Chain A
Amino acid sequence: MEKRVLSGNAAIARGAYESGIGLVSSYPGTPSSEITDNIKMYDEIYSEWATNEKVALEVAIGSSIAGTRSMTCMKHVGLNVASDPLMTLSYTGVNAGIVVVVADDPNMFSSQNEQDSRHYARFAKIPMLEPSDSNEAKHFVKLAVEISEKYSTPVLLRSVTRLSHSMSVVDIGSRENVSRKNLDVNIPKWVMVPANARKRHFFVEDRLKNIQTDYDNDILNLASEELNSKKIGIVTSGIAYQYVKEALPDASLLKLNMVYPLPLGKIKEFSKKVEKLFVVEELDPFIENEVIAYGLNLQRLDRSLMGELSVERVSKLFKNIDFGVLRFPSEYDDIDKDLPQRPPNMCPGCSHRGIFYAINRLKLFASGDIGCYTLGLLPPLSAIHSTVCMGASISMAHGIDKGSNGEYARKSVAVIGDSTFLHTGINGLMNSFYNSGTSTVVILDNRITGMTGHQPNPATGISIKGTPAPQVNIETLCRGMGIKNVRIVDPFNVEECLDTLKAETAKEELSVVITNRPCIFADRSVISSPYFVIRENCTGCKACVKVGCPAILWDSEKRLAFIDETMCTGCGLCPEVCKFDAINKLGE
């Protein structure tokens, strides 16, 4: 059998291919984005970037009704957006199978919160599978499709950053040939008016019981027991299983491949075979609470609910228990904190930098959003003052306006990217317009979904496959709503940005300011010859250093600025802020 080393995300994509899934609709979000980025390589699967996760799941539901197996992939907070269709999809059930992949981010490497998506499985009363490596990730997509069709339920497949972005060896199989089912015309099943939904609620409760019973009775082969020492028995799942195997090689294990519903009968049997029973899991005590509520004699671990587990963290959890565990001495102290740091930064040539420089200069409060531009919070720009969730910038700016009787609307802006605007920002803008808001909304239209890896969106003009596609014009969209004050600015023209922001925030009317430069990665043709510092003219005022460009360096001995020519993209922002004509283009 062919073997490949694949990331968890690439393996999930492979699993979709092998299990005959015919449609994938997703919105990108770290750490889930590469699943759909990999799906697009398979011509047998129709794939698309949707405008948001709710839309993506609804597309998947439609595909299921039409008879084609479907999947949608999102990050944990994306499932909040998709939770509305998910909760009722539980009632309708499916026609062809539906897999909902959700990738959590313990430790918040790239997220605004650390929520544990397992709660959604219980909330929606649907099953959730949790793989522990790439090979399982691939295989569990197939299992999820089977369970989905067998019990008529959407199935959640939970990943975490450490699985999605880790690589391990995967057995490569071939694609299952499935013929499309017929369109599912079934009004009592699919039309969730109260009279029908009441009946379907019985179905939901029965289905959950059936799945749990089949899990307990090994009809669903989803739990595996590894009996070793009788002293300690550990119930675990997902990536935590790997840490337990390495930290506690002698412990007896019950590995759960499905984390909701739980095989409480099986756990009870397992508990009888060991002296002490523990649950090792990451984030919330989800399995632990269920097992204790069931009445089993479980020893709670004194475990932090924050961050990722690791081999050494698992090892430490058991150090006070009389058990031969491995020790992981760190013989050397961590000295990272004393070193010059390398914080994430907006790239050299980033089209967001100039407008943030202007926002900083005008001392405006910036209601921010989710994307690369969230990095505008960092000094020296320090020009993002709130970030909550996708699209919140515009509605929060409206709240700032109305909550201060217009006072703070004169001193604040909303800042949102094109992809985030089309995701959920647009609803907020309609709300501001309808309710006679007077805020100023800055849409940073760089025509790409940047932070998650440069995926195209409706404003890009390119499809997921890289072919030409219809393009939403954000200016026309805003004008079409009826907004009068819509201005286009060049974000590298600092004077224009300053004048426009001053004029628009002063107006007691809703304004939209759209920046018009592409992401430096979306359009490499905008890169031009680099700038350099004319040493004789440089006074060492550091005005250029304050734009926060990684290509602008400071020679502390000579007290002069200089530009790293290999990094400079020739965007032209720094000569704009230099009052001494000390920055010039090479060859000019």
Chain B
Amino acid sequence: MKTDILMVGVGGQGTVLASDILCDVALSAGYDVKKSEIHGMAQRGGSVISHVRIGKKVFSPVIPVGSADILVSFEKMEFLRYFEYINNETILLLNEGKIYPPGAAGGEEKYPDSLIEEKITIFKKYYLLNAFDIADKVFNRKVTSTVMLGKLASVLEIKPDIWKDVISAKVPPKTKGKNIEAFDAGYNT
């Protein structure tokens, strides 16, 4: 198995912790794994991207252009920014919850609803879920990323138990139960 997973979202959504969890899951399942992301100036409210590469032996920590197997978008429009990474086989997991970019919020630009509708059909397979609503139902917005991990687990060949062990070890102890619920909710959606 070689799986290149691109996780994209908006700063503050927990994509970094989610991709950390994915790395530990891959290691526990016996794979080599590398991850790359950029932090610093491009933080709060900015577009964030984590490259996670899982396989027998991984070299570059960055997914080459046109090579992503799975694109996980933690926000409804963010996947549109990374088309150079996808190919005809790429699977899309999309949170339909929106976070308005400042331009769209300030009224000068439009949120690209019709472009999203048009572009998701390019993907070989796409799974849509409103992770904000699911997270709100389970606990609150803070478990959105765990809902998305649950959905990701449902398309990867790694046992849910491994995921749950890693999530339990990585999240704040008080929120462990809620995070496992959020994972299951995403997995079963």
Chain A residues close to B by CB (< 8 Å): 3-5, 30-31, 109-110, 133, 161-162, 165-169, 242-243, 245-246, 310-312, 328-336, 339-345, 347, 375, 451-452, 545, 550, 552-556, 566
Contacts and interface: CB of A to CB of B under 8 A. Distances in A.
Given A167-B20, A333-B83, A311 B60 contact: yes
B44 A336 contact: no
A169 B37 contact: no
9 contacts: A110-B41, A162-B61, A169-B32, A330-B66, A334-B84, A339-B81, A340-B103, A345-B45, A554-B106
A345 B11 CA distance: 11
A4 to B, nearest CB: 8
Contact of A342 (B26, B34, B45, B82): B45
Nearest to B110: A340
A243 B86 contact: no
Interface string B77-114: 10011111111100000000000111111110111100
B75 to A, nearest CB: 10
B152 interface: no
Contact of B66 (A243, A329, A550): A329
Nearest to A311: B64
A242 B59 contact: yes
Contacts of A166: 34-37, 61-62
B46 interface: yes
A332 B45 CA distance: 26
B35 A243 contact: no
B162 interface: no
Given A312-B64, A345-B102, A30 B24 contact: no
A-B CB proximity, top 10 nearest? A110-B40, A556-B107, A30-B40, A166-B61, A554-B107, A553-B105, A340-B101, A340-B103, A246-B59, A340-B109
Contacts of A555: 107
B189 interface: no
A373 B64 CA distance: 34
A343 B41 CA distance: 10
A161 B86 contact: no
Contacts of B81: 335-336, 339
Contacts of B158: none
B60 A342 contact: no
B102 A162 contact: no
Nearest to B35: A167
Given A340-B109, A342-B11, 15 more contacts: A30-B39, A161-B38, A168-B58, A242-B59, A310-B60, A310-B65, A328-B64, A328-B67, A331-B86, A339-B101, A340-B102, A344-B43, A452-B40, A550-B45, A553-B100
Contacts of A566: 141
B42 interface: yes
B46 A344 contact: yes
B45 A344 contact: yes
A370 B64 CA distance: 33
Contacts, number: 162
Report, as a range, how many residues of chain B touch the other chain: 35 or more
A242 B58 CA distance: 9
Contacts of B36: 162, 165-167
Contacts of B3: none
Contact of B80 (A310, A336, A553): A336
A243 B59 contact: yes
Contacts of B134: none
Contacts of A452: 40
Contacts of A552: 105
A159 to B, nearest CB: 13
A340 B111 contact: yes
A27 B64 CA distance: 34
B35 A332 contact: no
B115 to A, nearest CB: 8
B120 interface: no
A345 B106 CA distance: 14
Interface in B110-129: 110-112, 115, 119, 122
A153 B119 CA distance: 57
A332 B141 CA distance: 32
A452 B40 CA distance: 6
A344 B41 contact: yes
A332 B83 CA distance: 6
A556 B111 CA distance: 12
Given A332-B84, A342-B47, A109 B103 contact: no
Given A242-B61, A246-B59, A328-B67, A342 B40 contact: no
A336 B47 CA distance: 11
